[in-house]
Chain A
Amino acid sequence: MLVLQVLVNGILLGGLYGIMAIGMSLIYGVLRIVNIAHGALIMLGAYITFWTFTLWGWDPFLSLPVTILLLFAVGYLVQRCILNLIVRAALYLTLLITFGIEVVMVNLARIAWTSDLRQTAPAYVAANFSVGGLTIPYVRLWVFATTVVLSVLFLLLMERTRLGRAIRATAQELRAARLTGIPVGQIFAVTFGLGAALAGAAGAMWGVLFPITPILGRALTLKSFVVAVLGGLGTMMGAIVGGLVLGLAEAFTATFIGPTYPNAISFGLLVLILIVRPTGVLGRGEGR
């Protein structure tokens, strides 16, 4: 029974990891940038939701569209005003600049909101129900359902719309895309915005499940990367599967090894996967 409970917990959390990683994977797939500021965007989403809930009493799930829009705007501007200027530079420079952006965002958050632990705690946060001996908190289920909806919407956007086609074309062959009249600078900005929006949505829900601080994103950047690499960087479906795998791995470690071990396990897993199969467990193509 315990095993089953852990399994359910893992899957429910895995959905959240999944949408974090979709954002990471999308940005890498199109821009070839490993976005170290991803976790900072997650943090920003978490705080926006926390404040709209605390100050105005907005429900964290119903305010998701607002958070998503705001984060899209932030991401769009970051790419448009900063990253587009550097996108063709050597890899360590693009890594470094996202690192710099992360440091700026985290420390601004520290100054604005202090380092206190906070949590978005609507009235129903502790409510749960039981099915056949399993205890499932409602919020976890809603978070999972929301991540499924967001993933589906995102996949539809990528597969079925003109915008999605333009993004995919830009990812495949930048020059050809430009020749066919796609405004690639614009597409880059929109892509980063979409990645940021997914990160923000993940953060909004993270803040309902766990306490938040300005540095919560550091570990989540790495976890997003673990998941994205698990599924193969640049692939969207892989990120979802990877999210579930990480969620399960963490849930089982926390229960059967010790509550302080999940981070060690997931970062260790990252290093291991990179060494053994850098193109991802599900991925293929270029690697070392």
Chain B
Amino acid sequence: MNARRWVPLLAGLAVLVLLAAAPGIFSAFMIQFLINLFMMTILAESWNIIGGFTGYTSFGNAAFFGIGAYTTGVLVTRAGLPFAAALPAGGALAMLFGVAVGVPVLRLKGQYFAIATLGIGETMREVVYNLEVTGAGTGLVMPISRSPLSFFYLMLAILAGATLVNWWLSASRFGYGLIAIREDEDAAGAMGINAPLYKTIAFALSGTFAGLAGGVFAYWITFIDPDAVFKMSTTVQMIIMAVFGGSGTVLGPLLGAFLLSSVSEVLATQLATLAELFYGVIIVLVVLFMPKGLFDLIRRREFSFKYFARNLRENRI
């Protein structure tokens, strides 16, 4: 391994150290904003593993988030487990769910996979609505933690892990396998890649990070109900952040999450509906004008009208 490959890792480490020092500098409001930003970034990166690298557009990743949140919530409130034990359990269950659901669903291609995952997300919400242990429709109230800073560091740690995994995927045999599956699954299979195994691992990895983020979210926000954690708009946000930045890249989701979270945070202070509307408009514009994402635009250094016009022409009837 040559020295060049370590440059991004070192740069990442530097950013991490800077961020870790943030609580000493910023106000409490900023910290809350950063926690939310970290969470959205984790989700965008988690989606990127299955949707970006592997090319399987999951429309149900909010299910993982919800499972993580509810597992943590139920274990803390009903079983009296400490948060430190409940959170990993949430991540683990989300991972198991990824494997259990992934095995049958990842056999589906394209639109069938997308809709099946959409259905899974909605089914999970309905199931939780009907379960006693999860507090059904009323939700769960978590004990209030005394140290809000712990959420900051937890989210940051998970974010670092998710970024590391994305980076690893972009430069490893396993990651290349996923990209090969995205480009041409039959050919990948012919080259000796065990596609079902690879896809399932990718889906489970994606689920683990979303689940962990959900677990921290539950304890941070202290109240969860099915509508809040199994939101379709959570899935939409993950996807659009990843695609806006550039799906299938390491920096893309980071960039997308940072930019979109910031804008939507500002808009949400005006009106929550406005923030969602903004996402909708961004989705339409991004798909039309820069489907390869900001990262591609920056890499090509083609900041001209021509770039957008070419994208627009490419997929016209």
Contact = CB atoms under 8 A, between A and B. Distances in A.
A182 interface: no
A61 B219 CA distance: 50
Given A91-B57, A271-B123, A275-B105, A101 B284 contact: yes
Contact of A275 (B116, B129, B273): B116
Contacts of B107: 275, 288
Given A82-B288, A86-B288, A97-B287, A263 B110 contact: no
A153 interface: no
B277 A107 contact: yes
B287 A89 contact: yes
A73 interface: no
Contacts of B288: 82, 85-86, 97
A101 B111 CA distance: 17
Contacts of B279: 100, 103
The size class of the interface chain B forms with chain A is: 35 or more
Given A88-B316, A95-B114, A111-B273, A275 B104 contact: yes
Given A84-B317, A101-B284, A91 B108 contact: no
A58 B109 CA distance: 46
A288 B196 CA distance: 13
Given A86-B287, A99-B236, A271 B120 contact: yes
B137 to A, nearest CB: 8
A144 interface: no
A100 B123 contact: no
A51 B273 CA distance: 22
Given A96-B287, A104-B284, A111-B277, A91 B110 contact: yes
A215 B147 CA distance: 37
Contacts of A88: 314-317
A260 B129 contact: yes
Majority secondary structure of chain A interface residues (helix, strand, loop or mixed)? helix
A17 B130 CA distance: 24
A108 interface: yes
A179 B209 CA distance: 50
B115 A274 contact: yes
B293 to A, nearest CB: 11
Contacts of B119: 222, 225-226, 267-268, 270-271, 274
B183 to A, nearest CB: 12
B284 A107 contact: no
Contacts of B233: 103
A149 interface: no
A240 B287 CA distance: 33
B126 interface: yes
B21 interface: no
A92 interface: yes
B155 to A, nearest CB: 26
10 contacts: A85-B315, A96-B240, A110-B273, A111-B277, A222-B122, A260-B129, A261-B130, A270-B115, A271-B116, A271-B123
Interface of A: 28, 34, 82, 84-93, 95-97, 99-108, 110-111, 184-185, 188, 218-219, 222, 225-226, 229, 258, 260-261, 263-264, 267-268, 270-271, 274-275, 278, 287-288
Interface of B: 51, 55, 57, 59, 104-105, 107-112, 114-116, 118-120, 122-123, 126-127, 129-130, 232-233, 236, 239-240, 243, 273-274, 276-277, 279-284, 287-288, 291, 312, 314-317
The 4 closest A-B pairs by CB, nearest first: A100-B283, A103-B280, A264-B126, A92-B57
Given A87-B315, A111-B273, A271-B123, 14 more contacts: A34-B115, A82-B288, A96-B287, A97-B284, A97-B288, A99-B283, A103-B280, A103-B283, A104-B281, A264-B126, A267-B122, A274-B105, A275-B116, A278-B112
